[in-house]
Amino acid sequence: MAHRRSRGLKLYLSVLYIMASSHAVPLNDLLDRASQRSDRLHSLSTSLTHDLDNHLPPIGRVIMPRPSMCHTSSLQTPNDKEQALRVPESDLLSLIRSLLQAWADPLVILSSAANTFSHPAHSAIRSKVQELQDQSKSLVDGLDILSNKMDPSSQNISLMPFRGGNDLGQDKISRLINFHFLLSCFRRDSHKIDSFLKVLRCRAARMRPDMC
């Protein structure tokens, strides 16, 4: 418990420091920091997915919901880098912030489920999910600051509430499958977030499109 409070305090102080110094930090540096965090998010979600893949029963792959059933699927996003390069920077930041906001509640659910998860890699999964929460919140705070430096339209957020409920299932297999599905949705979105931030960073640096 003391370790958790200490980690929360460090994160809080880190956010305060960023907020206090953000006016003096160049836009490119803010984008570099955000890109580093988004890269870590995607790396963690990929690692967690692999942890679960190793113990997912064959039936799980058969009945796993389709990606189109992810709660963020309704958000229209660029399909590739070429499309992302054509989206106005403020709109691209708005998409990133909308995706992150949509995962605030689901990440809490994943964290709660991980604490009681029956899995050979239980300890590692619990630790990684907690870091996902911490990194995501830190990225949200950083992008709030970043959006204040950009066009006002970057403040717009599309709401995509999670309606899956707090219970991932009554039996071990259902919980594992639903946990895996929710995590796979986050992995897909974390890849978008990371890719879009890298495009934003590239454009802010005025690099040629072919170098982005």
* pLDDT score of 60: 66
Which pLDDT does position 107 carry in this prediction?
Answer: 95
Q: How far is CA 139 from CA 47, 83, 197, in A?
A: 19, 24, 11
Burial class (CB in 10 A: 0-12, 13-18, 19+), 124: middle
- Identify the pLDDT of residue 132: 94
Rounded-to-integer distance, Cα 191 and Cα 196, Å: 9
Angstrom distance (rounded) from CA 82 to CA 84:
5
Per-domain boundaries in the chain: 28-211
Question: Given this model, what pLDDT does residue 8 score?
Answer: 55
Residues in the chain: 212
What is the chain's mean pLDDT, rounded? 83
pTM over 0.75: yes
- CB of 188 closer than 8 Å to CB of 45: no
Rg, the chain, Cα only: 18
Any idea which fold 28-211 has?
Growth Hormone; Chain: A; (1.20.1250)
Contacts 24+ apart (CB under 8 A), 90-93: 90/150, 90/151, 90/152, 90/153, 90/154, 91/153, 91/154, 92/196, 92/199, 92/200, 93/143, 93/146, 93/147, 93/150, 93/154, 93/200
Positions in the chain whose pLDDT score sits under 70: 1-25, 59-62, 118-119, 207-211
| 28-63 exposure pattern, b = at least 16 Cβ within 10 A, e = fewer | eebbebbbebbbbbbebbeebbebbeeeeeeebeee
